């Protein structure tokens, strides 16, 4: 498959690592942005690892409500990203918007322990995701601006790995605090406030944005139809693949609910996210490095195979061993796909429209996540966990077939 292996040219990066880039290593700014993401994820995952169980067992919400909250939260972030990404292209600056988004997320973290009802938690989750939406596309565009063209896969892979380290450190801290405090949810949520503010301080004072290229064409209106056409057909195919991938992968909240369903106590439920994110963190950076040397499409296809296998294990093996197998395979899927999709967007988008490109990508994949999470919640309520994960298996197989078709189409086009 030669799909998504882009030729070097104006507005595009290359997907092979040049010797000079490899010797130089990743820039300092990539590492700092990775640690910014890591600290915010420690905070977020301390909350999110417990939130589904808190909603169902303490506040009495249904699993359909959990699916709706998770979906609308991520969709909100994705819709916000299109505007913040376009604004960063119009301004020619990324850091200000990224720091604003991290700051808003930090300020909203205290709402979680203070929320007295499901409605308040929905509001807290909504505002928190607005902050994520404001920072997401400008931060990813900033990484693409900083990273050498031949190291984009490694750069996005490193950020994803550090981000995911935070995603398993957070649940580990949550487990320890739940044990120490005898399941005091509110106290765990309060402790989560600290790393969020550390993350904001790091991006505000330790990240330097590169000066804009004076020869780069400015974009007066990144959201008009002309700019959309300028993004190009390869970019829009990347978006289509990302949407289908997201439909096949609903919220990880359902992994937590599956753990509860087979009998894990509330204290140990966050271990599901710990295991998944350890595997995710260990695989994301190597996958990114490998994708700079070989065709990215093959790695994406392998990731979908792992997702299909994860769904099968979670559907048909309702025990601790089946849960562990499914969660490990889910983490491998994430490591092989998420950073690579970001690198593909950076490869395909013109430099002056990178923020907009990441914004559109996250908008459409966020809407797909909303649909997938609501469908998963409805299937869970109607048919139980097996129905949810078997439906995920079906979507994963359809996504794999679609990826192979798009990849082969691009291969023919390149010829």
Domain 28-208+226-414 in CATH 3.10.620.30? The answer is no
**How many Cβ atoms from other residues are within 10 Å of residue 217's Cβ?**
11
Predicted local distance difference test score (pLDDT) of residue 10:
37
Backbone CA torsion sign across 350, 136, 37, 102:
positive
Pick from 50-64, 302-316, 354-368: least confident: 50-64
Q: What is the DSSP letter of 354?
A: H
Predicted local distance difference test score (pLDDT) of residue 102:
94
Predicted model pTM: 0.71
Predicted local distance difference test score (pLDDT) of residue 99:
93
Helix axes 28-48, 193-206, angle to 10 degrees: 160
Both structure tokens of 230: 């300028």
Report the pLDDT averaged over residues 176-185.
Answer: 85
Q: How far apart are CA 364 and CA 24, in angstroms?
A: 35
Report the pLDDT averaged over residues 38-53.
Answer: 86
Q: Which distant-in-sequence residues (6+ apart) come within 8 Å of 405 by Cβ?
A: none
3-state secondary structure of 248: helix
pLDDT per residue as tens digits for the range 237-294: 888 888 888 877 877 778 888 888 888 777 777 788 788 888 988 998 898 888 888 7
Predicted local distance difference test score (pLDDT) of residue 406:
65
Taking a C-beta distance cutoff of 8 angstroms, is the pair 350, 11 a contact?
A: yes
Q: How confident is the prediction for the chain on average, in pLDDT?
A: 80
From first CA to last CA, the distance across the chain in angstroms is 12
Pick from 130-144, 210-224, 343-357: least confident: 210-224
Predicted local distance difference test score (pLDDT) of residue 82:
77
Query: At 12, is the pLDDT very low, low, confident or very high (cuts 50, 70, 90)?
Result: very low
Q: Which distant-in-sequence residues (6+ apart) come within 8 Å of 13 by Cβ?
A: 6, 144, 149, 150, 152, 346, 347
CA nearest 136: which of 284, 355, 369, 344? 355
What would you measure as the largest C-alpha separation in the chain, in angstroms? 63
Q: How far apart are CA 265 and CA 386, in angstroms?
A: 20
Q: How far apart are CA 84 and CA 95, in angstroms?
A: 11
3-state percent helix, strand, coil for the chain, nearest multiple of 5: 80, 0, 20
Predicted local distance difference test score (pLDDT) of residue 193:
93
Q: How far apart are CA 402 and CA 391, in angstroms?
A: 17
Pick from 21-35, 91-105, 212-226, 348-362: least confident: 212-226
Report the pLDDT averaged over residues 61-79.
Answer: 70
Domains of the chain, residue spans: 28-208+226-414
Predicted local distance difference test score (pLDDT) of residue 13:
40
Residue 179 has pLDDT above 90, yes or no: no
Predicted local distance difference test score (pLDDT) of residue 17:
40
Q: How far apart are CA 329 and CA 314, in angstroms?
A: 10
Share of the chain above pLDDT 70, in %: 86
Report the pLDDT averaged over residues 209-234.
Answer: 70
Report the pLDDT averaged over residues 308-314.
Answer: 91
Pick from 209-213, 259-263, 284-288, 316-320: least confident: 209-213
Residue whose pair of structure tokens reads 């031949």 in the numeric block: 150
Predicted local distance difference test score (pLDDT) of residue 40:
94
Residue whose pair of structure tokens reads 């609910």 in the numeric block: 257
Q: How far apart are CA 103 and CA 252, in angstroms?
A: 25
CA nearest 101: which of 27, 191, 37, 165? 37
Q: How far apart are CA 14 and CA 157, in angstroms?
A: 16
Residue 183 has pLDDT above 70, yes or no: yes
3-state secondary structure of 9: strand
* Higher local confidence (pLDDT), 38 or 53: 38
Predicted local distance difference test score (pLDDT) of residue 281:
87
Taking a C-beta distance cutoff of 8 angstroms, is the pair 15, 148 a contact?
A: no
Predicted local distance difference test score (pLDDT) of residue 11:
40
Residue 81 has pLDDT above 90, yes or no: no
């Amino acid at each position: 498959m030669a799909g998504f292996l882009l030729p070097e040219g104006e507005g595009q990066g290359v997907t092979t690592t040049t010797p000079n880039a490899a010797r130089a290593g990743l820039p300092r700014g990539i590492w700092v942005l990775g640690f910014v993401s890591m600290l915010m994820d420690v905070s977020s995952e301390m909350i999110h690892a417990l939130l589904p169980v808190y909603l169902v067992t303490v506040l009495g919400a249904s699993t359909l409500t959990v699916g709706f909250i998770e979906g609308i939260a991520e969709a909100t972030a994705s819709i916000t990203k299109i505007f913040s990404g376009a604004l960063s292209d119009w301004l020619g600056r990324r850091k200000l918007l990224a720091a604003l988004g991290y700051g808003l997320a930090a300020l909203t973290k205290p709402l979680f322990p203070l929320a007295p009802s499901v409605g308040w938690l929905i509001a807290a989750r909504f505002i928190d995701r607005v902050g994520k939406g404001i920072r997401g596309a400008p931060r990813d565009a900033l990484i693409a601006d900083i990273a050498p063209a031949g190291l984009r896969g490694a750069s996005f892979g490193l950020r994803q790995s550090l981000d995911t380290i935070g995603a398993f450190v957070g649940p580990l801290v949550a487990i320890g605090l739940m044990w120490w405090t005898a399941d005091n949810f509110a106290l765990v949520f309060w402790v989560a406030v600290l790393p969020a503010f550390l993350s904001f301080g790091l991006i505000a004072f330790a990240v330097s944005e590169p000066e804009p290229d004076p020869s780069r064409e400015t974009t007066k209106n990144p959201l008009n139809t002309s700019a959309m056409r300028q993004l190009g057909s390869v970019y829009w195919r990347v978006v289509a693949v990302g949407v289908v991938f997201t439909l096949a992968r609903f919220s990880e909240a359902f992994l937590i609910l599956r753990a509860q369903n087979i009998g894990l106590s509330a204290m140990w439920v966050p271990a599901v996210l710990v295991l998944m994110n350890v595997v995710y963190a260990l695989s994301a950076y190597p996958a990114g490095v490998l994708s700079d040397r070989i065709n990215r499409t093959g790695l994406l296809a392998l990731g979908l195979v792992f997702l299909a296998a994860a769904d099968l294990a979670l559907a048909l093996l309702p025990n601790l061993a089946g849960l562990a197998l499914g969660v490990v395979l889910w983490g491998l899927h994430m490591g092989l796909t998420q950073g690579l999709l970001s690198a593909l967007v950076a490869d395909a988008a013109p430099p002056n429209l990178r923020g907009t490109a990441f914004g559109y990508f996250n908008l459409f994949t966020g809407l797909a996540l909303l649909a997938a999470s609501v469908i998963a919640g409805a299937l869970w309520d109607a048919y139980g966990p097996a129905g949810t994960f078997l439906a995920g298996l079906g979507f994963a197989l359809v996504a794999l077939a679609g990826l192979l078709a798009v990849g082969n189409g691009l291969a023919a086009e390149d010829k």
